[in-house]
Amino acid sequence: MLFALWLVTAAAADAGTTGPSTLSELLARAGENEALKASATCAFIEESIVEQLDSDGRVEGKVIRRAETTVKQSRIVSRKVTSKKVEGDPSSMIQKDEEPKGEARYSAFHPNEQRLYRFELLGPADADTVKVRFAPLEKDEKKMQGTAWIDRRTGLVTHIDATPSDLPMVLDEMTLSLDQEETPCGPQVTHLRMSGKAGLLFFKKRFRADTKLSGHHVP
């Protein structure tokens, strides 16, 4: 019933605001947004809290960071940590500052990536967005699977909940959630949350991270 109501609402929208009516049209519009994001050069502030948890979910230690970051064509080209605070007794793995790797990473909705994934339209999430399930045709630790929320008028991927389609050796589990918005640099990630369990052999730790990205601008 909700899906039928959404279709009626979409059909009744003004011609100037009516969005894609099929999955292929929605993916094409989403691809345009992801290509725009991938081509941008953008600077922003990262504010993150990474916590290490015990088996009961209690915080053993945390690292609070603030960094100035610049991305170019989906590659992190610079990250300068401007403040860092360590609380409790987090492992060295959590305390280590991540260095830019210069590797471009694209979402499943980038036009060059879509052929490597399968997509399923799940229906409306609310009056403005639809949900699309995605998964790679072949499992890969660098490729995610999950559900995306897409603005039905603009094609902007506004939210993603995902997990790796194949876990790397050091990860036992991981979930990821992100939000995207229009910024002065075009579509960009503004909030990222992760949780999971990682480590080697008998040294395994649970973790969760919350990162907010703000002040997006073209450098």
The string of pLDDT tens digits covering residues 8-45 is 333 333 333 345 568 999 999 999 999 999 999 999 99
Residue 21: left if φ>0, alpha if ψ -120 to 50, beta else—which one?
A: alpha
The string of pLDDT tens digits covering residues 132-184 is 999 999 999 889 999 999 999 999 999 999 999 988 777 788 899 999 999 99
Q: Tell me the whole-structure pTM to 2 decimals.
A: 0.84
- Pick the closest to residue 144 from 112, 182, 105, 179 (CA basis): 105
